[in-house]
Amino acid sequence: MAATKLAFLGFGHVGQALAALLLRKRAELKERYDITFNVVGIATGRHGKIINPAGIDLTGALQLIRSGNSLNLMTHTLALDAEDYIRKCGAEVLFENTPVNHENGQPAVDHLRMALECGMHAITANKGPVVYAYRELTELARAKNKKFLFESTVMDGAPIFSLFRSALPGAQLLGLRGILNSTTNLILTRMEAGESFEAAVKFAQSVGLAETDPSGDIDGWDAAIKVAALVSVLMDVPLTPQQVERTGIRGLSSEQIEAARLEGKRWKLVCSAARSGSGVQARVAPELVLPSSPLFNVEGASSIVEFKTDVLSSLSIGEGSPGPETTAYGLLADFIQAVRN
């Protein structure tokens, strides 16, 4: 098999983790799957955009960025903007990992649409396009005989979408319930240990889980868009995060958390969705969880989702200690699936 040409659009923590994983797995990909690759483009928000049809030194690019330097120091073709970059890079696979837009999924939707129109497989960890353009991008990918894949958008590298796509043929999803936001679960776990809300948020920021502005996590927006993605794809009911009933964890006091602990219960930011007629009722809100629940012992930055289908009454998938590396694995798995199929 000829070397597959890869391009990165977005090269932050996840993109860099994927690059490192590809380098580590290079020999294994060749031996097990007969897959070889060349990186022909890297586009970053702050460190420049470069293209080289002959292949970019990925190790050198990582070293440049990690030392705070610009990719423009490498003698390759430069691109003006994302559109120019996608059109010029000549890749066969585009990894789109720009920041998520909870409002409308842009500009990632346009990036992925253009990649497919240019004849590339489109792979992303960005939840926005899945929520706002799943059907459009899936149909375009089918028309172009390419793949639009997005395993890493919910629970990082855990095989949720591929589970239903491949391992559960004929199963109809009736509902789901879980903990999908790692940041809030870490905050609540630390508050149970006696930390204040403010101190727990600062810790989450210090370890890179929470942003400088943590509102997307603590107000439930990240959880809501993940619920919307799962419903849109697995239940085939288009849903936006604005349509998810949403309450964050700002209103939970240390006194409430301690009272629950004394009663043998725990507060969790619970995501849920259930079919209702031809639609779906979806919700994100703090709930008291009993020890009998699969959600009870999920601590720290771990996450879990429990599915109920018409053939399996309960099926749970959990993930511990997520990070850029686990997200990168989901992207790698999508790459292997796209190229092999």
Give the homologous superfamily in CATH for domain 169-319.
Answer: Dihydrodipicolinate Reductase; domain 2 (3.30.360.10)
**Separation of first and last alpha carbons in the chain:** 13
Least confident of 68-72, 109-113, 116-120: 68-72
Count CA atoms closer than 13 A to 114's CA, side-chain side: 19
Name the band, by pLDDT with cuts 50, 70 and 90, for residue 210: confident
pLDDT band at 80 (very low <50, low <70, confident <90, very high): confident
Contact 111, 98 (CB under 8 A): yes
Domain segments of the chain as ranges: 4-156+324-340, 169-319
Place of tokens 């905050």: 187
The pLDDT assigned to 148 comes to 98
Query: What pLDDT is stored for residue 75 in this prediction?
Result: 65
Q: Is the pLDDT of residue 72 over 90?
A: no
Catalytic residue among 226, 265, 268, 308: 226
Provide the pLDDT confidence category of residue 2 given band limits of 50, 70 and 90: confident
Q: Which two tokens stand for residue 300?
A: 């720290």
> What is the pLDDT of the chain when averaged over all its residues?
94
Dist. CA 115–CA 141, nearest whole Å: 10
Strands 93-96 and 77-78: unpaired
Considering only CA atoms, which of 139, 102, 101, 100 is closest in space to residue 122? 139
Residue 76: pLDDT band (50, 70, 90) is confident
CA distance 127 to 100: 6
- Tell whether pTM > 0.75: yes
* Side chain identity, residue 225: I
Strand 303-309 versus strand 173-179 pairing type: antiparallel
pLDDT tens, position by position, 218-244: 999 999 999 999 999 999 999 999 999
How far is it, in rounded angstroms, from Cα 324 to Cα 85? 24
Nearest partner of 15 among 5, 23, 27, judged by Cα: 23
The tens digit of pLDDT for each residue in 121-132 reads: 999 999 999 999
4-156+324-340 placed in CATH 3.40.50.720? yes
Alpha carbon 90 to its chain centroid, in Å, reads 25
pLDDT tens digits, one per residue of 268-310: 999 999 998 889 999 999 999 999 999 999 999 999 999 999 9
Residues 6+ apart with CB under 8 A from 125: 14, 97, 150, 152, 153, 327, 330, 331
According to the model, what pLDDT value does residue 264 have?
96
Give the pLDDT band (50/70/90) at residue 117: very high
4-156+324-340 with 169-319: one CATH topology?
A: no
226 is catalytic: yes
